[in-house]
Copies of this chain bind each other. A is one copy, B any other.
């Protein structure tokens, strides 16, 4: 943002929150950063690393006097965070978040702190690694990454622009879309693949002689299942939060697989070839350019 942020409150100082703090500090776009979280050791480390200036375990205290509040807590903890901050958030402060689903966070805000809705600009940085904690955070995480903002009808466009500029200062490419559309797109490109990877590894792990089965897995399997090493608690929260978009999509995909199984059973080579060729063409065309 052209203007600096006087005081930034980061609620949840892990990879996502810590990297935003580092990036804004590196860009000299923030004066003071207050961290908030549960784990003392992680917060002490955040101070030692210079990611935050000071911390508190109390959300109300953390947002007191803040200009911008960034919510980087698990989706399952968003509601309590809105509730905890509602009485102490300055009337001039903006709130944004980094949750992987947007509808549920907006609902949380609407239900427990409706008066904050006009100043809450929901966001989702499409970035991350398999690592957690502030020690894994780095200033370049958002460089050339997409950040999706899903502004609400209640938001003022000047406020949306401030949050956009904050992310642009971190090197991100910011786009906007409606909440429901975000949740559909992410269900398709992120949440559904995670279900397939978790589901596959789980099924194989429950097979007899699973030791032996994994022994013969090759490099393709390692790449394919990498996302099954993601944080189970985070993914439970995402599934529950985005169940409206993800549930039907997963059912639809199960039906696709049933059809594919029928074609395999019938040795219908032409139909199989059509599916594989269409998939390869789409992957080669769209995905190889992904950073």
- Interface residue ranges, A against B (CB under 8 Å): 126-128, 145-146, 148, 185-186, 188-190, 192-207, 210-233, 235-237, 239-240, 243, 246-248, 250-258, 260-261, 264-265, 267, 269, 272-273, 275-284, 286-288, 290-291
A240-B264, A240-B267, A260-B195 known; A279+B189 contact, CB < 8 A: no
User: Do A199 and B280 have beta carbons less than 8 Å apart?
Assistant: no
Contact of A185 among B200, B212, B240, B253 (CB under 8 A): B212
A258-B251, A279-B197 known; A204+B229 contact, CB < 8 A: no
A205: chain B residues at CB < 8 Å are 278-279, 281-282, 286
User: Do B188 and A232 have beta carbons less than 8 Å apart?
Assistant: no
User: Do A190 and B204 have beta carbons less than 8 Å apart?
Assistant: no
A215: chain B residues at CB < 8 Å are 146, 286
A225: chain B residues at CB < 8 Å are 193, 283, 287
> In the complex, which residue of chain B has the Cβ closest to the Cβ of A129?
B219
User: Do B273 and A236 have beta carbons less than 8 Å apart?
Assistant: yes
Least Cβ distance of A86 to chain B in Å? 25
CA distance A255 to B230 in the complex (A): 23
Can you list 8 A-B contacts (CB < 8 A)?
A: A189-B218, A193-B220, A198-B280, A214-B282, A222-B288, A240-B272, A254-B254, A254-B261
A201-B283, A204-B282 known; A190+B221 contact, CB < 8 A: yes
Other than the given A146-B216, A193-B225, A203-B252, 13 more pairs (CB < 8 A) read A146-B218, A186-B216, A194-B220, A195-B260, A200-B279, A202-B276, A223-B223, A229-B288, A231-B280, A236-B269, A240-B267, A240-B269, A253-B257
Least Cβ distance of A181 to chain B in Å? 9
7 closest residue pairs by CB, A with B: A232-B276, A214-B286, A205-B282, A254-B257, A201-B279, A250-B261, A189-B217
User: Do A276 and B235 have beta carbons less than 8 Å apart?
Assistant: yes
Contact of A279 among B190, B198, B243 (CB under 8 A): B198
A223-B226, A264-B247, A276-B235 known; A189+B214 contact, CB < 8 A: yes
> In the complex, which residue of chain B has the Cβ closest to the Cβ of A194?
B220
CA distance A211 to B290 in the complex (A): 13
A214: chain B residues at CB < 8 Å are 189, 282, 286-287, 290
